[in-house]
Structure 1
Amino acid sequence: MFEPKLNRSALSFIESDAADCLTKINRGVEKESLRVTQDGYLSMKPHPKEWGSALTNKFITTDYSEALPELITPVTQDRLGPRQWLDDIHRFIAAYMEDEVLWVGSMPCIMTKEEDVPLADYGTSNVGMMKHIYRRGLGYRYGRYMQTIAGVHYNFSLPEEFWPKYREFLGSEENLQDFISKQYLGLIRNYLRYCWLLPYLFGASPAMCKSFAKGEGGAFLTEETDGSMYGDYATSLRMSDLGYQNNAQSKFSIRHNDLEEYTAELERAIRTPDQFYQELGVKVDGEYRQLNANLLQIENEYYAKIRPKRTINSGERPTQALNRRGVEYVEVRSLDLNPFDPLGISQSQVDFLDVFLLFCLLQDSKEQSDRENAENDENFRRVVYYGRKPDLNLLRNNRSLRLKDASLQIFEEMRPVAVLLDKCNHTRSYTKALSEAIEMANDPSKTLSGLYYDDIRRSGQGYFGYTMGLSVKTQQEFLSKAVESRTQQMFEHEAAKSILEQQNIEDSETLSFEEYLERYFAE
């Protein structure tokens, strides 16, 4: 059994007035989407100048490619705020896209050659060149196709006033910073135990274009004459071996039992040479191919379903920030784009994530072992490949348990948290989101992947044709209503300011790129 039980202190906390501060949960969303042409090919146009600098604009940047914009919402305590921000940013950028649309699927559009994927350009400053060369290195290491897969990241943290109250309820006398980090790591460990739920419920990539697979989709995929490849029971091809992966990561073991241990293992990975990456070369014919030949170029290369995060200062690396100031928030990275919602994530998904993450925090969280990690990974693998298969079984402590039974058991344990958040926020949305999840557990055809799969099949258009139609419809919706004038002016101001900021960074450069890299990795 999965045995997801809230501890007694957590139950007492839920029933107390101290829990009222949960109206102030901090949330933020980072959403990626490919820019594609009207005939469905990857855009070759540069980042539009009207969007500002991808290096310094706080709302609009790029991920791997110039064709892969990333939209970033400010941190907000308004549960509706992230989607309101996303709506405004989408409407702003849509006005400057001319004959392009944003692809609403996580798996890419029509792909041609790997080298046709344009790398993100951040200018000539050292920090801009580092970001660009890091992406060039990803292309050499894993191929550029893989980097065009898009998704949504959800950032979550508890309000400051929560922590002293919760520490008191748990009877802890730890330093507050250490206590907070310890609790977030406990959240992450529980998340990794149950995160197979997210691709089951919200995975939305059961199909893809044959051009992406290069004819090597794997035995579990069905190839059709419509140019598509289908995983008949798949939930999230994005999160499968066809998606982002790093086989070299098997050479190190990341656990989340202790912050110092976690950061030390990441540090080891960015300083341990890898033979294959050495053979690729770091600087060849005067041009950097990658930042270094180590297992990881930088910490961000570590593939993770969730990350402990801390806002970094200029020139600071993520592990340094975590060691100095502790965990500030968690970043959930297991979410496909929701093709049925113009913003890529629905409000019901946001509400479910709040319940799920708070539930993961409030229950006991034993330390991870390599054996349990392997079991968690196998459960996740089964769900992304075969999640909608009737009577699919998962593993828990070497025993087999039906996915449906495990899901319903966890959802029942989550109910007090949903009720609490409803009470604090004077709504019924949290219990409604949980009820929708229960419906999906009882009927796989109601999951996002089930709905998407059935719609594509019924359309007769294949993955590309159906998703292209959704993308055009979504773009038209954004263009149908402009953002308010004050919001428009704010985005225009940020765009202009970001261009000046990038120019100032470039003009004030005093170090060579080699010196900059040496200093960055010095500690």
Structure 2
Amino acid sequence: MENVLNAIINNGLERELICGVWGLEKENIRVDSNGKLALTQHPLGLGNKIEHPYITTDFSESQVEVITPPCKSMDEAYFMLENLHDIVTENLEKDEYLWPSSMPPIIPKDEDIPIANYGNSSEAKDKMEYRNYIAKKYGKHKQLISGIHYNFSFNEDFLKKLHVLSSVNESFYDFKNGIYLTAARNLLKHQWLLTYLLGANVATHSSYKHCCNKDRENIKEEVLFKGACSYRNSLCGYRNKEDFRVSFDTLEENIRDLKNLISQGHLRGVKEYYSPVRLKNSKDTDTFEALERDGIEYIELRMIDLNPLSKVGIFREDLSLVHLFILSSLLYPCSSYNHKEQKKAMENQNEVSFNGHNLSKELRDEGLFFFDRMEKVLDKLSIDCGYYNDIIRAAKRKLSHKEELYSYKVYNLVLNEGYINHHLSISKENKKISLNESYSLKGYEDLELSTQILLKEALLKGLRVEVLDKRENFISISNKRKIEYIKQATKTSLDSYSTALIMENKAITKKVLLKSGISVPNGGIYTGIDRALMDFNKYLKSKIVIKPNNTNFGIGITILEANFSIEQYQEGLELAFNNDDTILIEEFFKGNEYRFTIIDGKVAGILQRVPANVVGDGKSNILELIEIKNRNPLRGRGYKKPLEQLKVGSEELFYLKSKNLTPNYIPQKDEIVFLRENSNISTGGDSLDFTDLIDTSYKDEAERAAKAVGANITGVDMMIENIQNRRSDTNATIIELNFNPAIHIHCYPFKGKNRRLGLQVLNALGF
């Protein structure tokens, strides 16, 4: 492969070399609050496990598997893994958790372990029949061992360029296969090194019935393996019963050897071949047909333990470490991997799995030599390698400092806390973290929160998602049948352009509602400040609202108490006209403001919105109380978190001034001081869920208003004086309709229930 390295360097393909496509698969056991195997069914909230592309079960009904879609970067793959992990966690029963170790928790007898039930289809029956077969052959306990699979492929265009530039006398089919086989041989030869660095399973519970006697320490009902790096990768872990010798010299020989093992009855099929590295084609993973026809599409590394020290089972930097292994295995390959070399590789793997903390000088030197070669690869590539060099230095240090190994750290934690107690405490803490951050979609934090919520619901449904424009929050969501383009979560194909224009113009909205017999506040529409000033006396005796015609989020709004001064009136007019050339002045309707969010023409959620406020502690002034309230991790800016931070801008200062207050005022203990009269969540307001507490007459009116403007999705803002009474024109009025209503306020209210509006949007779109 020297031609390959030269072709990359001489033709400036270094950047393309380090690109590729990544996919991650991860299994976790579900456990109860005592650390016992959960015997419940796969959570209903996670969908149909035989159809869901991202979330399913592995061997057991108690064993969740998440599968990322193919990702164009490691970051994307890692974030997707974390998002799927969080989605699963959020849909577990209250007293169930994801076990963070590859080795099982407290498990019952084989006959009590539930094999995954996929239903009654022929595909489902085939899956269940195979699981019954491996359960009988290997035992159910061993099938509960979990781990991470790391899938990688080079970009096809890169390989085609490399094929031409390498000047090799072979077809692209053979060249591509050779690339992956070269990497696979070296990865297999050095699998012990990855196990040494990434191994993190050094103990198990005595209920696991396949414990070896080698260097074991029994502590009550728990078994520790002193000096071990990875029990999962040991002779007693997830292995075939025999160490099969399969050629990796050519694809034809690899397939030939596997077919022989199957025909001789050693294996039921290719998926029973538990090699640490496998050659794959995504079009067919159970037979050889696609692999023979189209060649190797990617390689799968299967020797990676779940790391209990990471919430998702692996650290981001370890993905880069594995990637470096793949690159180095390609560019500094071993030319052969014969039976003798396979035997030696397996001996090294067994030694490190059980006794890696006492690494021999021979293996330490071999590991250092491998990383020295890796550094030489980076030196030859004209890219910024600082990050990768840091990873290599850390790995080299671990070869001489066992105390920095994950396995060493886990061993000492288990020794001090116990196997079950330690891992169960991690399970509970991980669940707490996932639930506390459930509003966030990792890797998509730059998007508005409502868009993140919609994407997360789409992943839960097993839909394909793509961000088309981050700044515009423009996304696509699709399945095999259809694709929908969505902006800011609720701008969809369900509403026409004219409907959007009506709702964006408050004056027109008001006229349309009046024609439909829907109650709206009395007032006027103005296109110039002089005409509005002439009507000063018309509004003087009433409490009024002055607002721009075409703005949202409470921008430019002023609320004046009755008998306001001409100066206050003019200041409010100027603020509104600074934001629009048309404004509305309306009589203020007494009562509380409620947001009715309509999806598919029906009320999906109702909130009472409480204006931005602080509560006194008797010693802090308003500015200090705002700072304290803004420390809440749920508060942020720009719809990135469920609640918006409070601030003191011109509107807040104006309102405080109207109450004869300044930001330096010190409220008494428990005294509530409002900073605004408008109650928008976007200006720091608090949201209280009222969906189940309001009479249906108000819901009917909100739905009538949406229908009047032809809106399938809208936010209807209604003032209600007394929700205990049925709706009447004197008890309630609609003050505004909002195109593109935020859905996150209903999903994460200040107080109340998550109404899952993202799911309702997807259902309305036909998903």
* TM-score, normalised relative to structure 1: 0.82
> Does the C-alpha gap of structure 1 residues 365 and 406 become closer, same or farther in structure 2, counting only changes over 3 Å?
closer
> How do 1:174-253 and structure 2 match up within 5 A?
174-213=170-209, 216-225=211-220, 227-247=221-241, 249-250=242-243, 253=245
- The separation in 2 between residues aligned to 1:439 and 1:463, in whole angstroms, is 27
Are the aligned partners of 1:418 and 1:434 in contact in 2 as well (CA < 8 Å)? no
> Does the C-alpha gap of structure 1 residues 495 and 113 become closer, same or farther in structure 2, counting only changes over 3 Å?
farther
Partner of 2:76: 81
Q: Deviations over 1:294-329 (max 9, x none)?
A: 32111100110010000125xx74311111110000
- 1:489, CA displacement in angstroms? 2.4
2:365 partner letter: D
Secondary structure of 1:223's aligned partner: strand
> Does the C-alpha gap of structure 1 residues 357 and 44 become closer, same or farther in structure 2, counting only changes over 3 Å?
same
Q: Which moved more, 1:361-370 or 1:380-389?
A: 361-370
> How do 1:382-421 and structure 2 match up within 5 A?
382-389=351-358, 392-393=359-360, 402-418=362-378
Partner of 2:269: 298
Q: Deviations over 1:33-78 (max 9, x none)?
A: 1000011111111111211121121110111111111111111112
Partner of 2:257: 265
- The separation in 2 between residues aligned to 1:119 and 1:322, in whole angstroms, is 30
- The separation in 2 between residues aligned to 1:8 and 1:443, in whole angstroms, is 37
1:409 partner letter: F
Partner of 1:163: 159
1:440 partner letter: K
More strand by share: 2
| Structure 2 counterpart of 1:37, from 25, 32, 53 | 32
- 1:15, CA displacement in angstroms? 6.0
Partner of 1:288: none
- The separation in 1 between residues aligned to 2:120 and 2:52, in whole angstroms, is 16
Are the aligned partners of 1:147 and 1:244 in contact in 2 as well (CA < 8 Å)? yes
Does structure 1 residue 72 correspond to structure 2 residue 67?
yes
Larger RCO (CA within 8 A; separation ≥ 6): 1
Does structure 1 residue 340 correspond to structure 2 residue 309?
yes
| Structure 1 counterpart of 2:409, from 427, 451, 456 | 451
2:395 partner letter: A
Are the aligned partners of 1:52 and 1:495 in contact in 2 as well (CA < 8 Å)? no
- The separation in 2 between residues aligned to 1:371 and 1:163, in whole angstroms, is 31
- The separation in 2 between residues aligned to 1:258 and 1:23, in whole angstroms, is 24
* TM-score, normalised relative to structure 2: 0.57
Partner of 2:581: none
Partner of 1:283: none
- 1:9, CA displacement in angstroms? 4.5
Are the aligned partners of 2:20 and 2:154 in contact in 1 as well (CA < 8 Å)? yes
Are the aligned partners of 1:337 and 1:344 in contact in 2 as well (CA < 8 Å)? yes
Q: Deviations over 1:360-409 (max 9, x none)?
A: 111243222211111111111111011111xx33xxxxxxx522221111
Q: Which contiguous aligned blocks of 4+ residues in structure 1 show a shift greater than 4 angstroms?
A: 418-421
Secondary structure of 2:223's aligned partner: strand
Q: Which moved more, 1:165-174 or 1:66-75?
A: 165-174
- The separation in 2 between residues aligned to 1:210 and 1:270, in whole angstroms, is 34
- 1:20, CA displacement in angstroms? 2.1
Are the aligned partners of 1:35 and 1:103 in contact in 2 as well (CA < 8 Å)? yes
Partner of 1:352: 321
Partner of 2:341: 372
2:183 partner letter: L
- The separation in 2 between residues aligned to 1:75 and 1:363, in whole angstroms, is 27
Are the aligned partners of 1:199 and 1:235 in contact in 2 as well (CA < 8 Å)? yes
Q: Deviations over 1:187-215 (max 9, x none)?
A: 1111111111111001001111122146x
Partner of 1:291: none
1:141 partner letter: K
Identity of aligned residues (%): 29
Does structure 1 residue 474 correspond to structure 2 residue 468?
no
Secondary structure of 1:318's aligned partner: coil
- The separation in 2 between residues aligned to 1:312 and 1:328, in whole angstroms, is 9
- The separation in 2 between residues aligned to 1:417 and 1:115, in whole angstroms, is 52
Are the aligned partners of 2:271 and 2:286 in contact in 1 as well (CA < 8 Å)? no
Q: Deviations over 1:327-378 (max 9, x none)?
A: 0000000100011111111111001111110111112432222111111111
> Does the C-alpha gap of structure 1 residues 166 and 106 become closer, same or farther in structure 2, counting only changes over 3 Å?
same
- The separation in 2 between residues aligned to 1:162 and 1:35, in whole angstroms, is 41
- The separation in 2 between residues aligned to 1:480 and 1:223, in whole angstroms, is 37
Secondary structure of 1:437's aligned partner: helix
Secondary structure of 2:299's aligned partner: strand
- The separation in 2 between residues aligned to 1:367 and 1:220, in whole angstroms, is 34
1:176 partner letter: F
Q: Which moved more, 1:410-419 or 1:324-333?
A: 410-419
- The separation in 1 between residues aligned to 2:287 and 2:437, in whole angstroms, is 39
Q: Which moved more, 1:432-441 or 1:97-106?
A: 432-441
Partner of 2:281: 310
- 1:14, CA displacement in angstroms? 3.9
> Does the C-alpha gap of structure 1 residues 158 and 495 become closer, same or farther in structure 2, counting only changes over 3 Å?
closer
- The separation in 2 between residues aligned to 1:341 and 1:185, in whole angstroms, is 31
Are the aligned partners of 2:245 and 2:342 in contact in 1 as well (CA < 8 Å)? no
Secondary structure of 1:17's aligned partner: coil
- The separation in 1 between residues aligned to 2:166 and 2:150, in whole angstroms, is 27
- 1:427, CA displacement in angstroms? 6.6
- 1:8, CA displacement in angstroms? 6.2
Partner of 2:56: 61
- The separation in 2 between residues aligned to 1:296 and 1:260, in whole angstroms, is 18
Instruction: Note the aligned Cα RMSD (angstroms).
Output: 2.2
Partner of 2:523: none
> Does the C-alpha gap of structure 1 residues 302 and 340 become closer, same or farther in structure 2, counting only changes over 3 Å?
same
Are the aligned partners of 2:55 and 2:66 in contact in 1 as well (CA < 8 Å)? yes
Does structure 1 residue 150 correspond to structure 2 residue 146?
yes
2:104 partner letter: P
Are the aligned partners of 1:206 and 1:231 in contact in 2 as well (CA < 8 Å)? yes
1:412 partner letter: D
- 1:261, CA displacement in angstroms? 1.4
